Amino acid sequence: MNNAITKIGVFTSGGDAPGMNAAIRAVVRASIYYKKEVFGIMRGYEGMIDGDIVKLGARSVGNILQRGGTILKSARSQEFRAPEGRKKAFDQLKKHGIDALIAIGGDGSFAGLHVFFEEYHLPSVCIPGTIDNDIPGTDFTIGYDTATNTAVEAIDKIRDTALSHNRLFFVEVMGRNSGYIAINSGIAGGAGAIIIPEDHMTFEALYAILKPGEETAKKSNVVVVAEGSKIGGAIELARKVAERSSYFDIKVTILGHLQRGGSPTYFDRVLASKLGVAAVEGLLHGKQDVMVGVLDNKISYTPFETVRSGTHAINEEDLRIAKILSI
Let me know if 134 is exposed, middle or buried by CB neighbors in 10 A (0-12, 13-18, 19+).
buried
pTM: 0.94
Question: pLDDT tens digits for 106-164?
Answer: 989 999 999 999 999 999 999 999 999 999 999 999 999 999 999 999 999 999 998 88
The DSSP 8-state label assigned to residue 189 in this structure reads: T
Contact 79, 46 (CB under 8 A): yes
Cβ atoms of 185 and 152 within 8 Å: the answer is: yes
Residues 19-64 pLDDT 10s? 999 999 999 999 999 999 999 999 999 999 999 999 999 999 999 9
Give me the residues paired with residue 101 across strands: 9, 124
Tell me which amino acid residue 245 is: S
**Whole-number pLDDT of residue 213:** 66
Identify the pLDDT of residue 166.
80
Exposure of 182 by Cβ count < 10 A (0-12 exposed, 13-18 middle, 19+ buried)?
Answer: buried
Position 200 scores a pLDDT of: 87
List Cβ<8 Å contacts ≥24 apart for 228-231. Answer: 228/175, 228/176, 228/177, 228/178, 228/179, 228/196, 228/197, 229/195, 229/196, 229/197, 230/197, 230/200, 231/195, 231/201, 231/202, 231/203, 231/206
216 pLDDT tier (thresholds 50, 70, 90)? low
Q: Alpha-carbon Rg of the chain, whole angstroms?
A: 22
Contacts of 106 by beta carbon, 8 Å cutoff, 6+ apart: 13, 14, 15, 128, 129, 130, 132, 134, 135, 141
Q: What is the pLDDT of residue 38?
A: 98
Residue-level pLDDT at 217: 61
Specify the DSSP class assigned to residue 59.
Answer: G
Question: Domains plus CATH for the chain?
Answer: 7-143+264-309 (3.40.50.450), 144-260 (3.40.50.460)
pLDDT for residue 309 = 87
How are beta strands 221-226 and 193-195 bridged, if at all?
parallel
SS3 65: coil
* Confidence at residue 63, expressed as pLDDT on a 0 to 100 scale: 95
In this predicted structure, the answer to whether residue 219 has a pLDDT above a threshold of 70 is no
CA distance 133 to 145: 9
Cβ atoms 173, 196 nearer than 8 A = no
Q: Is the pLDDT of residue 327 over 80?
A: no
Q: What is the largest CA-CA distance in the chain?
A: 72
pLDDT, one tens digit per residue, over 228-269 is 999 999 999 999 999 998 888 899 999 999 999 999 999 999
Catalytic residue ranges: 132
